[in-house]
A = this chain, B = another copy of it.
Amino acid sequence: MIKTPVRGMRDIMPKNLRLREYLLGIIEQTAKVAGYQKIETPAMEQLENMSSKIGGENESLIFKVLKRGRELEKAKAENDELCDSALRYDLTVPLARYYAMNGEMLPKPFKSLQIGPVWRADAPQKGRYRQFLQCDMDILGDDSVLAEIDAIDTVMKILARICEEAKVSGLNLRINDRRILLAAATFAGFGEDEVGAALITLDKQDKIGWDGVRNELLGRGFAAEKVDKFVNLFQNGAQTPEEFCAQLGEAQPDAKVLDNLRLITQAMAGKRVSFDPSLVRGMGYYTGAIFECSADGLDSSIAGGGRYDKMIGKFSGQDVPACGFSIGFERLVAILEDLGFEPPLPQTACAILVSDKVSATKYAEILAQAEQKRQDGKIVSVLPMMRNLGRQIALLEANGYSEFEKIYGD
């Protein structure tokens, strides 16, 4: 039998899990007192839902689950699809399905908190695993900007607390709106079926630079005039949505778009919030405001989200406004681990080490002593004393134990 985990997956050691649970505690506690309610969906989803184009690139990374029994035989005989379900690649599509299925029983609007594993068959590399945890907060059924503001307010509180613990400074939020990006692409002359490609390239700007964006768009066969007009919009140094949109002439987005961004900025007064017209966010399903958090010295964002008003309707036939924020949990864990951060121990941990010379008839008495110490607020583990006591104690110390009581024979 094979003792290694499946390729690209990992076993989590007690010490690492303690850090993860510490972070989850901050996230859950902050989200719950702000009225987010936790829900859970199954790990597996209908294959149809996992390959509907909503998930973009992620859909090419799904793990499919084989049909079983007679259905599998039939599929093989008829050369049909061998799978009808797959592991979820995110928590947003399952949430939309969940709301379409169960929305009637939920408060309106519904503020959801989801924490759970997702699976993607990405090429494994340092810090990137094929199973990882996502933490999502979403507000479903609110079309007002209060949803954006509440989600941002709560996520910024969570991140502020984590950044403080980790001594990471410069937490900031960048905001934009998909409708501004659409207006910009339209203004530059991109047709409806070309906008997607233009935005995918624009999304890479922080990695490939503006020359890179220009070259990639030219390489995709777009006319130089279009490409220049598009790129110039972003290079003209517009600082506010108003300044940026003033360049767009007839292609102006709705006035509500600018109002929303102003209201978000105003509600977050005192925090570092900036308008970033080149912020795209990977997923194609966003329909309105989009946002992303980062901090000084980090090479990637630590949370991101936006409004997606057209997804739930794909399941229920009826659109429900939706706005969500996903916290980059694994990214935060990696940052804290790199910093050597260790969460404070909640209690003193004491090991009672029992020599094999002690008669087993004394075990009940030893357990009672241990329980007494627990009542006094300690973690107490009763363990047999091992031959290599020095190594036993060293391993316990590495796992947070600081008190050792040795019981020898009498």
List chain A positions with a Cβ less than 8 A from chain B: 1-6, 9-14, 17-18, 21, 32-46, 48-49, 52, 63-66, 68, 82-83, 85, 87, 97-98, 100-102, 105-109, 111, 117, 119, 121, 131, 142, 144-146, 149-150, 153, 259, 263, 266-269, 314-316, 347, 349, 351, 354, 356, 360-361, 363-364, 367, 370, 374, 378-384, 386, 391-392, 395-396, 398-399, 401
Contacts and interface: CB of A to CB of B under 8 A. Distances in A.
A3 B315 contact: yes
A381 B104 CA distance: 19
B39 A14 contact: yes
A267 B396 CA distance: 26
A361 B49 contact: no
B150 A6 contact: no
Contacts of A17: 38-40
A46 B9 CA distance: 11
A315 B1 contact: yes
Nearest to A347: B33
B9 A108 contact: no
A81 to B, nearest CB: 10
Nearest to A18: B38
A146 B366 CA distance: 10
A64 to B, nearest CB: 4
A45 B6 contact: yes
A367 B154 CA distance: 10
Query: Residue among A33, A44, A102 with the most chain B CB within 10 A?
Result: A33
A309 to B, nearest CB: 15
A225 B57 CA distance: 67
Query: Residue among A18, A42, A259 with the most chain B CB within 10 A?
Result: A42
Nearest to A112: B14
Given A65-B63, A146-B363, A2 B97 contact: yes
A101 B13 CA distance: 11
A102 B46 contact: no
B382 A42 contact: no
B14 A106 contact: yes
A392 B131 contact: no
Contact of A68 (B9, B38, B49, B121): B121
Contacts of A101: 3-5, 11
B149 A363 contact: yes
A34 B361 contact: no
A106 B63 CA distance: 32
A9 B263 contact: no
6 contacts: A1-B97, A5-B41, A33-B374, A107-B401, A150-B382, A269-B364
Contacts of A356: 144
A153 to B, nearest CB: 6
Contact of A384 (B45, B106, B146, B378): B146
B386 A108 contact: yes
Nearest to A148: B363
Contact of A108 (B33, B382, B395): B395
A45 to B, nearest CB: 6
Contacts of A11: 39-42, 98, 101-102
A44 to B, nearest CB: 5
A260 to B, nearest CB: 9
A32 B348 CA distance: 12
A52 B2 CA distance: 11
Nearest to A66: B64
Contact of A65 (B42, B45, B65): B65
Given A144-B356, A364-B269, A82 B109 contact: no
Given A6-B45, A44-B6, A315-B3, A351 B68 contact: no
A381 B30 CA distance: 12
Contacts of A21: 38
A392 B12 CA distance: 42
